[in-house]
Amino acid sequence: MTATDPVHETVNAVYLSDSRRVLATLIRLLGDFDVAEEALHDAFRAALEQWPRDGVPANPRAWLVSAGRFKAIDSMRRRARFDALDDVGDKADIAVDDPAAWADEESVEDDRLRLIFTCCHPALSPDAQVALTLREVCGLTTEEIAQAFLTPAPTLAQRIVRAKAKIRVARIPYQVPTHADLPERLETVLRVIYLVFNEGYTASSGASVTRHDLSAEAIRLGRLLVELLPEPEAQGLLALMLLHESRRTARTSMSGELVRLDDQDRSLWDRGQIAEGTRIIERALSSGRVGPYTIQAAIAAVHAEAPTAAETDWAEIVGLYDVLSRGDSSPVIELNRAVAVAMRDGPEAGLHLIDAILERGDLLDYRLAHAARADLCRRLGRTADALASYKRALALTRQEPERRFLERRLAELDA
């Protein structure tokens, strides 16, 4: 047993580093997600049996793809009731199988992109895109995904089954989009990754502020995407996630309470992530094709560069929000701009902008709009308005630490 342990460790290590790559190639070769997943497991089972006996192959990944493909074809043929004689012939066939046809670096890297774009195909529902990406690209189990999204596991399993059925029945092709479709399709992929990140960073519900695993998974995905497809907006998103992530420790107090940006202990910010994020933004900006993720990352970088909250360059931030809303004007961006204006020009100016958004009927059910309004009213000494807005925000929040934060504010004002 001891003699085989290093080999077992090798198999485990290869599983961690390469199982998604092998799966991505198997899906292309076998044309079906479920068949490929079964083949992947068969291949690793075969590795556990054969590597201790025959030694670890020179190219484990190619060996696994070959073994998985063989196992799948074998079981397909057995299911189709081919007779035993044919089986012998097939095995000989596989032995001379030429890995060069599919194992070269470029087509294998393309397979990973194919997998990402297929999981994030716009013909799948956004929920299904997220679940499928975490399952197939990140290798999370259905139970892990269900837990992270506070969804019952059977619901999530069903979602994945339906998505795979749609890929098969409607014939969603396993390919990287053509040049013409790329910008739009990339947008869907980026949205899925950012959604996963946000679910981990500001979990929309539940007992804690953040769910670290999902954010880490999203950053891993972002890195993979930038590596495979160095588009400026993919870089912008990765930078944005890194800059948010750099503040993770400072965002919650020891007792699990939410700490606002201006109250955070900036010595807790992760300088390594800030430096990396800033470097990536510079690369994205130099492309000359600047999109919303890159601008949001630039805003996060302005915060990251300020030694204290008071020294934040709010004029620069308002300017960046102006650029952002020129490209894609949404009420949430307007709200963020209003908060920045309040910091630059005083609470009165910000409140005026927020009230204009709410009077238009936008963001009425958005807890952060009411929380921001409450905060500005509080600073202006308009206690009754502040109380009303805090209460509205409190009624809308589904997150425990946020609820406690708002209750504290309410208690302070009432006193």
Distance CA 296, CA 291 (A): 9
Q: Given the complex with other proteins, which of 33 and 390 has the nearer CB atom?
A: 33
Phi (first) and psi of residue 173, to 5 degrees:
-75, 155
> What is the x/- site pattern for other proteins, positions 174-213, by CB under 8 A?
-x-x---x--------------------------------
Using the minimum distance from each CB to other proteins, give the nearer residue, 87 or 181.
181
Q: Is 140 in the site for other proteins (CB under 8 A)?
A: no
Distance CA 352, CA 372 (A): 12
Contact range with other proteins by CB under 8 A, out of 172-180, 196-204, 239-247, 307-315: 172-180
150 contributes a contact to other proteins by CB under 8 A: no
Give the residue with the Cβ less far from other proteins, 94 or 229: 229
Q: How far is the CB of 47 from other proteins (least distance, A)?
A: 33
Helix axes 60-79, 5-30, angle to 10 degrees: 60
Q: CA 141: distance to chain centroid?
A: 16
Q: How far is the CB of 35 from other proteins (least distance, A)?
A: 18
Does 165 bind other proteins (CB under 8 A)? Our answer is: no
HSE toward the beta carbon, residue 319, CA cutoff 13 A? 6
How many chain residues touch other proteins (CB under 8 A)? 10
Question: In this chain, which stretch among 70-78, 165-173, 347-355, 365-373 interacts with other proteins, using CB under 8 A?
Answer: 165-173
Query: According to CB under 8 A, which one of 169, 254, 310, 384 is a site residue for other proteins?
Result: 169
CB 167 within 8 A of CB 33: yes
Q: Which of 152, 173, 256, 327 binds other proteins (CB under 8 A)?
A: 173
- Residue 22 · residue 43 · CB < 8 Å: yes
**Which of residues 161 and 170 has its CB atom nearest to other proteins in the complex?**
170
Residue of 5, 41, 45, 123 that binds other proteins (CB under 8 A): 123
Q: What residues make contact with other proteins under the rule CB under 8 A?
A: 121, 123, 169-173, 175, 177, 181
